[in-house]
A = this chain, B = another copy of it.
Amino acid sequence: MARSKGDHEARRRDVSEAVWQVMAVRGFGGLTLRAVAARLGATTGLLTHYFPTKRALVAHALDLLEERTAARPRRPAGEGLDALRAALLDMLPLTEEATRSNRVWVSSWDHVLSDPELSEAHAGRYARSRDALRDKVAAAQALGELPPGDPERTAAGVQSFVLGLVVQALLDPAAFPPSRQIELLDGQLAALARRRPPGDSDR
């Protein structure tokens, strides 16, 4: 029986979902054709039709990670500093879904750093994210909510801050619950605006 294009697309989606599930639980270190096949209830032979090599599987996993991150729900935001804050909150592991997705991002770094081509693709992903932050920083500056200065530098700074906070929160969720993550981010934004952080008092 000939299979339709619709069948093919549906099967591709199933395969992608299985790749995602494996990554969310085991990270990139545990991403193997065998693990994806087991998740899918299929043979590794079938999987090699989609991914002839481990490298092809990893490349698909990275694309999937970028797609899922781009498609994630965003919190509503106003403009200027509020929009910047919302974009940064969207990156933090404040929900179960965001924790899973961040777990996969963090786990991708080890794999990517061993492969110059994958490293370059990853560098491009973070550069695009930084560009989006830069535009938000510039908008906040135009509104007078952030002091003037190089928006590229401020964007690189907040991106670093949030990436590092993601790592800390994943490694030590007890010390970095969502409330603490938000408090730290607001402290960072207050420092950039050069005002006293919310809830802070002289001692």
Residue A112 at the B interface, CB < 8 A? yes
* Cα of A114 to Cα of B112 in the assembled complex, Å: 18
A123/B160 in contact, CB under 8 A: no
Tell me if A184 is interfacial: C-beta within 8 Å of chain B.
yes
A residues 131-189 touching B (CB-CB < 8 Å): 147-150, 153-154, 156-157, 159-168, 170-172, 174-176, 180, 183-184, 187-188
Complexed CA–CA distance, A149 and B196 (Å)? 9
Complex CA–CA separation, A201 to B150 (angstroms)? 8
Q: Which residue of the partner chain, among B109, B154, B164, B200, contacts A149 with CB atoms under 8 Å?
A: B200
A binding-site residues for B, Cβ under 8 Å: 26-30, 103, 106-114, 119, 122-123, 126-127, 147-150, 153-154, 156-157, 159-168, 170-172, 174-176, 180, 183-184, 187-188, 191-192, 194-197, 200-203
